[in-house]
Structure 1
């Protein structure tokens, strides 16, 4: 069997099944945004790691060293936010191809990396035969009662996101299609290169009992919501017209003939948070979130009993099957 036949998450499942019997009692391994390791009586250590490879995750000629340093860390910090935690420290392993970078590039990369103010405690550096390879591990902490997991969604829960979707995918389209440079395309590309992990929002939402399951949007809602549904053994309905899309993406999509909401559903790397919320407590959560962050949460659907699948509702009823990014 080829890896392509089972896909990225089928491969992860095969790896996880081979190590479940080795995980210490009380520890949590593969299956959420972070591993969870007990740390004292009422707190846990959160651990996440992510890999970025040149020409797979980024094009060096289109992203500055500063932006790459910041984005490399941002995508990892987002995993800590997704579980209601606070980042504490990072480790970085960096593979650099010979003759293609210099100390000026490295200095700019690390300026971007340190822009989030999270310590770098160690790692490794090596040469790479071709492209840049970046691997980061982040340690975070959270109170045990505040940790949010993918398997905690319940029937009837509102499905919610903390911000607009699709801007990063729009930026990627602008890069790949080599669109003419104007204010809108430049801003979409900036949002693709400089995602903002919702750290404050994640820690705050982690403390809210009304929030049940939570993760970040890295591969697109169409894929990421399925992770919650499979972990929680639920189905869901998503209303396409309720997917939040920025005016910036709407304008650019109209100009170049894109389907803005398809980009919003299937495009990855927005790094907003995706959560499910007790419907009886949503209005209170919404009001408190507005007071805390000055903007609203966006309801895009509802969980229901049933086999893990998403039914998309639009003006013409159920849409075609949608999937987010898959590496294999």
Structure 2
């Protein structure tokens, strides 16, 4: 982290980042769509819905890719469309079973590049695309994918179970590059073999089965701090994190700043909370598959996310007043 990088500048960069601000509409959508069902164990606020099926859980998720990425690099957009869905199931401690997609495109060349990226990612992770819907000759380019996964009901990892005093762990594969077509993406996946990628996502399933973490989310468009904020928001907790503890590549060698790094989509990365006695084992499992993993802070009861660096502290979010996914009062 650069010595001239202040906590105030980092906090402002996170709060104003589009990957964070575009989440504000979620709360209004939830109010419009939420419907209780006895078999739905968890839904909005989780990376995947949890649907009871006897002693097992079906995990259902969907994700889409920004049109900016589609236009910048359709192949990478297709690859990421699969990748982010695989991560949603992994973050819940599950095995991904299959995917379906909805693809809208302006021309055939773009369509072929998107589907090539999707196919390569599906092969890399061993999760088939089994159907979907096609909108040809549209005035826009969009790829949306839905995914089905499964795990035992007692092994699900939720986002809203972080507890006071839990350690916050960031696990990220730093062996990658700034993607040449998208400066806000860290590509740590396209150059890896299938077994490496599959072993990295399998870590989450083992952590769920062994009950070693209290909460988790995959690091997505809001970046490292923004994703942690979403986890704390649904857990109704706060935290203080040390910026210098966040795993990062050689920033100078990659031509990026620290503020850039903490907003990036990291390719393969998770934010987790765990009881202090489980920290060493959680980090060991990630490091075994080539990922950097370390404690970056501690959960507390304040409902405020605070960042610190060399004695300088700044509040990023106060979830008792306003949240990433909409005003706090709308979720009470």
For Structure 1 versus Structure 2, the TM-score category normalised by the shorter chain is: 0.7 to 0.9
9 and 207 in structure 1: CA distance in 2 versus 1, 3 angstrom threshold: same
After superposition, residues 164-175 of structure 1 pair within 5 angstroms as 164=173, 170-171=178-179, 175=182
Distance (Å, rounded) in 2 between the aligned partners of 1:148 and 1:8: 25
Deviation per CA, 1:220-259: give whole Å up to 9, x if none: 1221111111112211011011111113x34223xxxx42
Aligned-residue CA RMSD in angstroms?
A: 3.3
Distance (Å, rounded) in 2 between the aligned partners of 1:202 and 1:241: 25
320 and 266 in structure 1: CA distance in 2 versus 1, 3 angstrom threshold: farther
Bigger shift: residues 71-80 or 110-119: 110-119
64 and 153 in structure 1: CA distance in 2 versus 1, 3 angstrom threshold: same
- Relative to the length of structure 1, the TM-score reads 0.78
- Relative to the length of structure 2, the TM-score reads 0.77
Distance (Å, rounded) in 2 between the aligned partners of 1:10 and 1:138: 24
Deviation at 1:149, TM superposition (A): 0.8
Q: SS at the partner of 1:246?
A: coil
Q: Contact 1:71–1:193 at 8 Å: present in 2 too?
A: no
Distance (Å, rounded) in 1 between the aligned partners of 2:118 and 2:212: 38
After superposition, residues 50-129 of structure 1 pair within 5 angstroms as 50-55=63-68, 57-60=69-72, 63=73, 65=75, 67-98=76-107, 100-101=109-110, 105=113, 108-115=116-123, 116-129=125-138
Deviation at 1:267, TM superposition (A): 2.4
Q: Which runs of 5+ in 1 are unaligned?
A: 178-187
Which residue does 2:232 correspond to in 1? Answer: 229
Distance (Å, rounded) in 2 between the aligned partners of 1:189 and 1:288: 22
Q: SS at the partner of 2:39?
A: coil
Deviation at 1:270, TM superposition (A): 3.5
Which residue does 1:199 correspond to in 2? Answer: 201
Distance (Å, rounded) in 1 between the aligned partners of 2:96 and 2:272: 20
Q: SS at the partner of 1:241?
A: helix
Deviation at 1:69, TM superposition (A): 2.9
Distance (Å, rounded) in 1 between the aligned partners of 2:130 and 2:278: 41
